[in-house]
């Protein structure tokens, strides 16, 4: 059976999904076709049934989390993420994590971009933070701690709970609720134990449409650890825990208890995309010394390396007598990049010198730059006097290197 017939069979068996879901099904079909070819025989009916069942299953609860690509969803206000969205669709559907203790919640890795050097992961959590009524058993009440004063915290579904709590306290009638929150670990781990540390996150939830799903983009330090570079794919997992706080008012006294439970981690197989990268080089003179410049850029990321020959970049730090002579930064070396559209790439951090090399990383624009202009200057605190050699601003046009 060819690809077109298999895809049509799947499409005929399900309701009308969105475009992102159809794209995910297309990836599944491509995978099944690749698996069929080495076998030199027709695809079995069982394989087709499995594909159809996968399609229908994804239109259930999982479709809420997997149906909308997180890159595309957050890309409505971010052109970079929107441009990366087509390259972030998972070829293999990631499992949706559910658990009896999760009650109303579920979570999964929805999409991910990996180009061999950089990793960006999109995940979705339904009802990450919510509250619901709770009446303790006598055993639970015995294990709860009595508190003198108690102010309920805010949560996604807490307004009705808060009103009920206030009314119960005023009327001296029993009332209780439990508040659940899912936490994601700071570290992401590959199946062979490589720890990937993220550099930043951005999240969004559409409360106006009663959307209870929080969608998050997590960006990792680039380049990745050496063990995670230029792989065909990465198997990743993001550990999760659920923290539950129980609140109870017995008509007279207030009681609180907490518990934390480890959940199954979110997992995904992230295949390397065919996204291209380009290297740019140049030479500038700063503080009377030649500086070699190299920038490696892709649609997602850029990394600039400036190496001063026969010298070091002066340290922009000084002792602070107020803080027992601890050193503090009074400025930093600002290395900025501008592409052919005059778009300035967003820099993740700056350095304060002290070595012969400056390293800077940037978010890409979503497209591979054709040209890059680099500017080097010192950005200092107000009132700081800059010596002449540090007050200059140097701008050069970098030269692309043929692959």
Encode pLDDT of 291-314 as tens digits: 999 999 999 999 999 999 899 999
> Closest Cα partner for 339 from 306, 305, 374?
374
Name the band, by pLDDT with cuts 50, 70 and 90, for residue 34. Answer: very low
Overall average pLDDT of the 382-393 stretch: 87
Whether pLDDT at 20 is above 70: no
Whether pLDDT at 63 is above 70: no
Whether pLDDT at 399 is above 90: yes
Whether pLDDT at 106 is above 70: yes
Overall average pLDDT of the 121-137 stretch: 89
Whether pLDDT at 139 is above 60: yes
pLDDT of residue 59: 44
Name the band, by pLDDT with cuts 50, 70 and 90, for residue 22. Answer: low
Overall average pLDDT of the 104-109 stretch: 88
- Name the more confident of 267 and 106: 267
Query: Counting beta carbons within 10 angstroms of the beta carbon of residue 26, is it exposed (0 to 12), middle (13 to 18) or buried (19 or more)?
Result: middle
pLDDT of residue 152: 63
Name the band, by pLDDT with cuts 50, 70 and 90, for residue 37. Answer: very low
Q: List helix spans (H) across 86-206.
A: 138-142, 158-171
Q: How far is it, in rounded angstroms, from Cα 232 to Cα 272?
A: 5
Q: How far is it, in rounded angstroms, from Cα 237 to Cα 267?
A: 4
Between 18-27, 72-81, 264-273, 333-342, the lowest mean confidence (pLDDT) is in 18-27
Name the band, by pLDDT with cuts 50, 70 and 90, for residue 2. Answer: low
- Name the more confident of 212 and 220: 220
**pTM exceeding 0.85:** no
Whether pLDDT at 319 is above 90: no
pLDDT of residue 328: 76
% of the chain exceeding 90 in pLDDT: 50
* CA dist list (Å): 246 to 74, 141, 259, 313: 33, 10, 9, 55
Helix axes 3-12, 19-36, angle to 10 degrees: 140
Q: List helix spans (H) across 90-151.
A: 138-142
Q: What counts of helices (H) and strands (E) characterise the chain? A: 9, 20
* CA dist list (Å): 157 to 101, 212, 255: 18, 10, 21
pLDDT of residue 305: 96
Overall average pLDDT of the 161-181 stretch: 85
Would residue 353 be called left, alpha or beta, if left means φ above 0 and alpha means ψ between -120 and 50 degrees? Answer: left
Which helix (H) or strand (E) covers residue 65, if one does?
A: helix 61-66
Whether pLDDT at 28 is above 90: no
Name the band, by pLDDT with cuts 50, 70 and 90, for residue 33. Answer: very low
Overall average pLDDT of the 148-159 stretch: 63
Name the band, by pLDDT with cuts 50, 70 and 90, for residue 40. Answer: very low
Q: How far is it, in rounded angstroms, from Cα 201 to Cα 216?
A: 7
pLDDT of residue 36: 45
pLDDT of residue 380: 87
Judge whether 75 and 113 are in contact, CB under 8 Å.
no
Judge whether 280 and 372 are in contact, CB under 8 Å.
yes
Q: Give me the chain's average pLDDT, please.
A: 82
% of the chain exceeding 70 in pLDDT: 76
Q: List helix spans (H) across 143-293.
A: 158-171
- Residue 79, SS3 per DSSP: helix
pLDDT of residue 47: 47
Q: Per-residue DSSP letters for 370-381? A: S-EEEEEEEEE-
Name the band, by pLDDT with cuts 50, 70 and 90, for residue 48. Answer: very low
């Amino acid at each position: 059976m060819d690809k077109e017939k298999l895809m049509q069979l799947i499409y005929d068996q399900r309701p009308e999904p969105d475009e992102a879901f159809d794209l995910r099904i297309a990836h599944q079909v491509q995978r099944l076709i690749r698996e069929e070819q080495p076998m030199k025989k027709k695809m079995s009916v069982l394989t087709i049934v499995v594909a159809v069942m996968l399609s229908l299953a994804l239109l259930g609860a999982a479709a809420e989390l997997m149906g909308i690509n997180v890159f595309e969803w957050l890309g409505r206000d971010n052109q970079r993420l929107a441009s990366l969205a087509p390259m972030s669709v998972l070829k293999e559907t990631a499992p949706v994590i559910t658990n009896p203790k999760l009650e109303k919640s579920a979570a999964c890795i929805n999409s991910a971009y990996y180009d061999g050097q950089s990793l960006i992961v999109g995940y979705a959590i339904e009802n990450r933070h919510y509250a619901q009524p709770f009446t303790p058993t006598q055993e639970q009440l015995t294990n709860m701690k009595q508190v003198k004063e108690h102010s309920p915290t805010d949560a996604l579904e807490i307004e009705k709970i808060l009103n009920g709590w206030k009314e119960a306290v005023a009327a001296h009638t029993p009332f209780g609720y439990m508040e659940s929150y899912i936490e994601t670990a700071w570290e992401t781990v590959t199946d062979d134990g490589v720890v990937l540390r993220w550099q930043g996150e951005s999240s969004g939830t559409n409360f106006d449409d009663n959307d209870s799903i929080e969608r998050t983009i997590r960006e990792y330090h680039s380049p990745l650890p050496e063990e995670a570079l230029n792989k065909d794919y990465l198997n990743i997992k993001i550990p999760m825990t659920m923290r539950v706080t129980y609140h109870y008012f017995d008509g007279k006294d207030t009681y609180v208890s907490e518990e934390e439970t480890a959940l199954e981690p979110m997992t995904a197989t992230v295949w390397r995309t065919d996204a291209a990268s380009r290297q740019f080089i140049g030479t500038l003179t700063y503080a009377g010394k030649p500086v070699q410049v190299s920038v490696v850029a892709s649609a997602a990321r850029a990394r600039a390396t400036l190496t001063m020959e026969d010298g070091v970049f002066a340290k922009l730090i000084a002792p602070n007598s107020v803080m027992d002579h601890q050193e503090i930064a009074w400025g930093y070396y600002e290395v900025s990049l501008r592409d052919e559209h005059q778009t300035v790439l967003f820099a993740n951090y700056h350095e304060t010198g002290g070595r012969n090399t400056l390293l800077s990383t940037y978010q890409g624009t979503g497209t591979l730059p054709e040209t890059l202009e680099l500017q080097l200057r010192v950005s200092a605190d107000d009132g700081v006097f800059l010596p002449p050699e540090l007050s200059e601003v140097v701008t050069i046009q970098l030269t692309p290197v043929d692959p």
